[in-house]
Structure 1
Amino acid sequence: MTNSSLLPSSTLLDLGPDFYDPVEAAKFPRLELRYYNPSLCDQLRWGASELKTHLGEFQPVPGSLPQPLALRYHGHQFQQYNPELGDGRGFSFAQFKEGDVLWELGTKGSGQTPYSRRGDGRLTLKGAVRESLATELLESLGVRTSRTLAFFETGEELQRNDEPSPTRSAVLTRFSHSHIRFGTFQRVTYLQQTAQLHKLFAYTREHLVRPPFENAFTQKGEVTELFTQVIHRTADLVAQWMMAGFVHGVLNTDNMNITGESFDYGPFRFLPHYDPTFTAAYFDQSGLYAYGEQPHAVLWNLHQLGFCLRVLEPQLNLEEIGPYYQNVLHAKARAHLCRRLNIKSRGEDHDEALLIALFDFLAESRAPFERTFFDFYRGRNVSPDSLPAYQSARAQEFMRQWNDYQIANANHAQDPYFTRTAPVTLLIDEIEAIWDAIRFRDDWGLYQYRINELRAMRGLYGHRGHA
């Protein structure tokens, strides 16, 4: 995001009341600001007072949405269709325009809505801590992610099955381009509301996935042009996840953003070492959303979106989704490999060979995933021979190829971050240690220290892309 001003907007109202329900935010007994994003607050020109007014008390932003809107959507959850979804503990709160680019504030833990079902509409403080850490690290690793704008501790005691209870509460606001999901398209398709599907497509094309477009499909038309762009962005995101060692955990279609942004962080994990079977969610017993299955799961989700868009353009050939997606995924994986290693591309064949050599080495050695990318960041003044895992034959083959590459950015390589002996990571035991300090002693020092470390990495692995 540039330094241009953000102007309040209310374009979501253009969709009409069939897409949302006006709701009231919860009234919290306490509002204690625990986290905020300084760069976003500067863009919004908000200080502590505005954060409390708008993101704690949820008083409307003048010129934006007049009241919170809980969005309606359906979705496949673990590939089983569920027509009883929707914003159950959050809402779209405000929108802003930056030139032609739309931004939106969405909440988590802001109270019950018509879609809460048996839930209390609340977010645990641990959940807010985890999401803020995830978005900080993903942004620093160059992943196209929503960002956490702020969260408040709210002074309630919550009962949860997956946390020692009672546990503390919070309300979080994320900053992203949109909260229109694949499941938003699925809902109006399921209900056979073709006129609303046309309206949703037009809104998406005008505000979220805008031309110019390429068209990777045989059939030409507005729908295939937009779908091509969605596939491209989504494949790019998956490649970013894979090169970051990130496991989202719950890749349901209602967690897939039409803009190609990563968002909605629940049981995420970062890989300790390369393991394609590694899962993030304890309830993912089948490994459907394991690290190595993420590309396949997302492709399946894109097919579900394709079924919806084919209503608008019946000649859309869904068999063309897979080949195009795979081509983009592999091309982006090579590009993000080069970005993460600070090397200049040597062309498709050499880059593909390097990618294969790296993951062969990681699979054999079980070397620490992020540590490997850190140690082999080109131009770093530390010899990558500090781990026994680097002495294997496959490691040596990777290094032989790696040595043929030129450095991409010498200035980045000299950054103080790369004088560290180890990278900044967010493995599960580290997150639990941060949370234990908060839970048992109300000590936020370790959390803030890690946030500062994550921000110090910003830009070294590439900049976050925007729509």
Structure 2
Amino acid sequence: MPVSPAYRPDPRFPELGPEFADPVEPARFPQTHLRFRNDRAAATVGLETLTDEEWRAHFGRFAPLPDNIDPPLAQRYHGHQFQVYNPELGDGRGFLFAQLREAGTDRLLDLGTKGSGQTPWSRQGDGRLTLKGGIREVLATAMLEALGVPTSRSFSLVETGEALMRTDEPSPTRASVLVRLSHSHIRFGTFQRHAFFERADRIGMLVDHVVANYYPHLEASNDRAAALLGEVVRRMARLVARWMAAGFVHGVLNTDNMSITGESFDYGPYRFLPRNDPNFVAAYFDQTGLYSFGRQAEAVFWNLQQLGGCLSLVTATEPIVAELQEFGAAYRRELIAAMLDRLGLEPRGEAVDAGFVQTAFRAIAAGSEPLRWEPFFFDWFCGDEARALAGARGEIYRQPAFAEFRELVAGYAPDRPERLADPYFARREPEELLYDEIEALWAPIAEADDWSAFAAKLAAIENARRAWDLPSQESFAGT
């Protein structure tokens, strides 16, 4: 492989030692059909120059990248699943494949897999990923990035030529292997595993590793564990706020799905809201609504408490409690910022902005006609009332239910109003990613191996991302 000057391997996770991961061998797939490659993400780590054959070799057959992790490592972790502790978890169908430095930010990034074969933690599973599941994750990450959510990025999707049996979709079904690019795959559950075995020494090792590689500004702290928790609290507050502003429901907010760097990842039964509904759930098996749209902040805070409990093995309880108590205020600040970003408005001050955001949420849910979530932000971007009233939902916005919102939004200055000149905002309807559309995108692939609608959707989401120009992955680096 000809190495790009931007390719900077830096495998740090193996330094933790054998108690944190198991070496594994990738599955040998009968075929490697490249279905998606993210060249924009690849350029940030010096891999965009790979030919398609080289790409398939590294991300379909998992030939090691130069000077990187070899063999791959299946990470060990525990976790709470729907708040029930499970000590049998771990990377059951994935592994850490490589670690690299990001151009521009110097962040340490992971290339991790999903569907790459069985590991010691597969628990009788086949270690595979359905092609439909891979497609859903590619779509989710593209849409979330467009909407300014800190998220993993789908890096590669390769169809593997296997037929899988599943209970939740027609079988046999096609198989795939996904590679994602993330800031870190270290989970809350990574800490939980070593707390379960009462290994304070390993918790201390993890704290030092995470601080050195992801939060180096904390190295001089007198209490690294508490300082680390404080950073994670703030990042998770930001993540949940950005989910809420995007109208996104993750669906499975287990502690093993919580990243120590505050990025969203691992998209299974996710949904984007059709309309404002706090009780909306993404997973059919979430019978109690534990992870419903309106309870996501509560669920994440509960998970942070579990992380705090692990860190209490290496520091006093009082600073842990103090850091956890910051979550509520941090979440309120981040939700205000996220909503103003989505509406393209300059802040006016926390008290004024808080009232405005509450009014915006009420307005989305009000009116005599159902209002879809995403069109509200599209119509009112940069606070342009004339554009909103002239659009497809103008009659809704003229109703009394929107009177207070219209009055308040008039007091805001637009943030970078030149964005409205993008052709995207001349459309009648915004780009959305609702459940029925995902099903419609899958149908021609399943029936005729026709990928044109999928490719067109990704191109449309990319156009929306450029038009919105919301905070990017890079802008969250080091904050």
Contact 1:279–1:287 under 8 Å retained in 2: yes
1:466 is matched with 477
Provide closer, same or farther for how the CA distance between residues 321 and 286 of structure 1 changes in structure 2, counting only shifts above 3 A: farther
Quote the residue 1:199 is aligned against: 205
Say whether 1:298 aligns with 2:300: yes
Post-superposition shift, 1:65? 0.5
Distance 1:22 1:384 in 2: 59
Per the TM alignment, residue 40 of structure 1 is displaced from its structure 2 partner at its CA by: 2.0
Q: Match of 1:224?
A: 226
Aligned twin of 1:284: 286
Instruction: Decide whether the 8 Å contact of 1:213 with 1:229 is kept in 2.
Output: no
1:56 aligns with 2:60: yes
Residue identity opposite 2:98 in structure 1: A
Give the letter aligned to residue 443 of structure 2. D
Cα drift, residue 79 of structure 1: 0.2
Q: Does 1:148 align with 2:154?
A: yes
Name the structure 2 match of 1:39: 40
Asked if the contact 2:383/2:412 (under 8 Å) is kept, the reply is: no
**Structure 2 residue runs without a partner (length 5+):** none
Residue 110 (structure 2) aligns with: 104
Q: 1:161, 1:391 → 2: CA distance?
A: 47
Cα distance in 2 between the residues matched to 1:94 and 1:239:
30
1:327-406 equivalences under 5 Å are: 327-365=329-367, 366-378=370-382, 382-384=387-389, 386-387=392-393, 388-406=395-413
Given candidates 69, 88, 92, the residue that maps to 1:84 is 88
Q: Structure 1 residues 171-180 or 379-388, which shifts more?
A: 379-388
Cα gap change, 1:47/1:382 in structure 2, threshold over 3 Å: closer, same or farther? farther
Contact 1:87 1:116 in 2 (8 A): yes
5+ residue gaps, structure 1, are none
Aligned to 2:437: 430
8 Å CA contact 1:214, 1:229 repeated in 2: no
**Matched position secondary structure for 1:303:** helix
Q: Once the 2 structures are TM-superposed, how far is the Cα of residue 291 of structure 1 from its aligned partner? A: 0.3
Are 1:445 and 2:452 an aligned pair?
yes
Q: After the TM superposition, which of the residue ranges 36-45 and 277-286 deviates more from structure 2?
A: 36-45
Summarize the alignment of residues 208-219 of structure 1 with structure 2, pairs less than 5 Å apart.
208-211=214-217
Residue equivalent to 2:263: 261
Alpha-carbon distance between aligned partners in 2 of 1:262 and 1:346, rounded to the nearest angstrom:
29
Between the aligned partners of 2:206 and 2:91, the Cα distance in structure 1 is 17
SS, match of residue 157 in structure 1: strand
Moved over 4 A (4+): 212-215
Cα distance in 1, alignment partners of residues 210 and 319 from structure 2: 21
Whether contact under 8 Å (1:24, 1:68) holds in the other structure is yes
- Mapped pair 1:19 → 2:13: no
Task: Give the corresponding residue for 1:75.
Answer: 79
TM-aligned CA deviation for residue 51 of structure 1? 1.2
Structure 2 match to 1:7: 8
In the TM superposition, residue 318 of structure 1 has moved relative to its aligned partner by: 4.4
Tell me which amino acid in the other structure corresponds to 1:454. Answer: I
Q: Partners of 1:368 and 1:404 in 2: how far apart?
A: 24
| Residue 127 of structure 2: aligned partner | 121
Question: Structure 1 residues 199, 290: closer, same or farther in 2, change over 3 A?
Answer: same
Partner of residue 187, structure 2: 181
Change (3 A) 1:379 1:242: closer
Distance 2:31 2:78 in 1: 33
Q: Indicate the residue corresponding to 1:138 in structure 2.
A: 144
Q: Indicate if the aligned counterparts of 1:209 and 1:230 stay in contact, CA closer than 8 A.
A: no
Q: Distance in 2 between matches of 1:136 and 1:95?
A: 22
SS for the counterpart of 1:383 is: helix
Query: Of 134, 150, 158, which residue of structure 1 is paired with 2:164?
Result: 158
Residue 225 of structure 2 aligns to a residue whose secondary structure is helix
Shift of residue 321 of structure 1? Answer: 4.3
Instruction: State the distance in 2 between where 1:109 and 1:384 align.
Output: 47
Q: CA deviation digits over 1:230-257, x for unaligned, max 9?
A: 1000100000000000000000000000
How many residue pairs were aligned? 461
Q: Residue in 2 aligned with 1:251?
A: 253
- Is the 1:214–1:225 Cα contact (8 Å) retained in structure 2? no
Could you report, residue by residue, the CA deviation over 1:321-356 in whole angstroms, capped at 9, with x for unpaired residues? 453101111111111111111111111122111111
Asked if the contact 1:109–1:172 (Cα under 8 Å) also holds between the matched residues in 2, the reply is yes
**SS at 1:439 equivalent:** helix
Structure 1 length normalisation: TM-score? Answer: 0.95
Q: Which residue of 1 aligns with 2:30?
A: 29
Structure 2 Cα separation of the partners of residues 59 and 214 of structure 1:
39
Retained in 2: the 8 A contact 1:224–1:316?
A: no
Quote the offset at 1:379 in angstroms. Answer: 6.1
1:194–1:319: structure 2 CA closer, same or farther, 3 Å change rule? closer
Q: Does the aligned pair in 1 maintain the 2:383–2:409 contact within 8 Å? A: no
Q: In 2, Cα distance between the equivalents of 1:400 and 1:181?
A: 44
Helix, strand or coil: the match of 2:213?
helix
In 1: Cα distance, 2:157 partner to 2:30 partner: 15
Q: 1:238 to 1:213 in 2, by over 3 A?
A: farther
Give the distance between the partners of 1:124 and 1:437, measured in 2 at CA: 16
Do 1:357 and 1:394's aligned partners in 2 also have CA atoms closer than 8 Å?
Answer: no
Distance 1:293 1:383 in 2: 30
Shift of 1:187: 0.2
| One-letter amino acid matched to 2:340 | C
Q: Is the 8 A contact 1:41 1:149 kept in 2?
A: yes
Q: Is the 8 A contact 1:30 1:154 kept in 2?
A: yes
Q: Which deviations, in whole Å up to 9, do the C-alpha atoms of 1:152-174 show, x marking residues without a partner?
A: 01111101111111110000000
Match of 2:451, as an amino acid? W
Letter in 2 for 1:81: Y
